[in-house]
Amino acid sequence: MNIINIALNECKRSIRDFRTLVFMLAFPIVLMLILGTALSSTFDTNIKIGKINVLFTENNDRNFSEPFHNFIMEAKKQDIHFSEAKNGTNGQLAVQQNKYDAYVIVTDKGIQFYGSERNSIQASMVEGMLTAFTDKYNLITEIAKEKPEQIQAVLANTSSNYVKETSLTADKAPGSMDYYAIAMTTMIALYSAISASSLIRAERRRNTAIRLAIAPINKIEIFLGKILGGIGINFICILLVMAFSRFVFGADWGTHLGMVVLILFTLVFLAVSFGLGLSYMIKTDSGMQTIVMIVLQLAAFFGGAYFRIDNADGILGIVVNLSPLTWARDALTKIIYNNDLVAGLPAISLNIGIALVFLMVAIVAFRKREGL
CATH number at 66 reads: 3.40.190
Domain limit, last residue, from 156, 190, 212: 156
Residues 207 and 280 reside in one and the same domain: yes
Instruction: Give 133 or 248, the one with higher predicted confidence.
Output: 248
Instruction: pLDDT band for 327, please (50, 70, 90 cuts).
Output: very high
Supply the pLDDT for residue 328.
Answer: 93
Predicted confidence (pLDDT) per residue in 21-75, tens digit:
788 888 899 988 888 888 776 665 555 667 888 888 877 655 666 777 778 888 8
Residue at 167 is within a domain: no
Predicted confidence (pLDDT) per residue in 1-25, tens digit:
778 888 888 788 878 877 777 888 8
What whole-number distance in Å separates Cα of residue 83 and Cα of residue 99? Answer: 12
Residues 194 and 343 reside in one and the same domain: yes
Total domain count, the chain:
2
What whole-number distance in Å separates Cα of residue 319 and Cα of residue 362? Answer: 26
* Greatest pairwise CA separation for the chain in angstroms: 106
- Within the chain, strands assigned E span 52-59, 80-84, 102-107, 110-115
Domain that holds residue 259: 2-44+173-368
Instruction: pLDDT band for 238, please (50, 70, 90 cuts).
Output: very high
Residue at 337 is within a domain: yes
Sign of the alpha-carbon torsion through 45, 50, 55, 61: positive
107, β-bridge pairs: 59, 110
pTM of the full structure: 0.67
Residue 187 scores a pLDDT above 80:
yes
CA distances from 290 to 202, 285, 286, 320 (A): 17, 9, 6, 21
Residues 66 and 35 reside in one and the same domain: no
As a whole number, the mean pLDDT across the chain is 81
Residue 162 scores a pLDDT above 60:
no
Domain limit, last residue, from 156, 189, 224: 156
Supply the pLDDT for residue 47.
Answer: 55
| DSSP tag of 199 | T
Strand 102-107, strand 110-115: pairing: antiparallel
Residues 212 and 324 reside in one and the same domain: yes
Residue at 225 is within a domain: yes
Residues 141 and 183 reside in one and the same domain: no
Cβ atoms of residues 176 and 36 within 8 Å: yes
Residue at 295 is within a domain: yes
Supply the pLDDT for residue 169.
Answer: 47
Supply the pLDDT for residue 207.
Answer: 67
Which among 265, 266, 274, 278 is positioned nearest to 350, based on CA atoms?
266
Residues 186 and 314 reside in one and the same domain: yes
Average pLDDT over residues 99-110: 80
Residue 352 scores a pLDDT above 90:
yes
Residues 106 and 216 reside in one and the same domain: no
- Helix or strand holding residue 116 (H, E): none
Residues 74 and 177 reside in one and the same domain: no
Residue at 211 is within a domain: yes
Average pLDDT over residues 92-102: 85
Residues 40 and 89 reside in one and the same domain: no
Residue 370 scores a pLDDT above 70:
no
Residues 21 and 83 reside in one and the same domain: no
Residue at 282 is within a domain: yes
Predicted confidence (pLDDT) per residue in 289-319, tens digit:
889 899 999 999 998 888 878 777 788 888 8
Instruction: Give 189 or 128, the one with higher predicted confidence.
Output: 189
CB count within 10 Å of CB 77 equals 9
CA 320 to mean position of chain CA atoms:
13
What whole-number distance in Å separates Cα of residue 51 and Cα of residue 84? Answer: 17
Instruction: pLDDT band for 188, please (50, 70, 90 cuts).
Output: very high
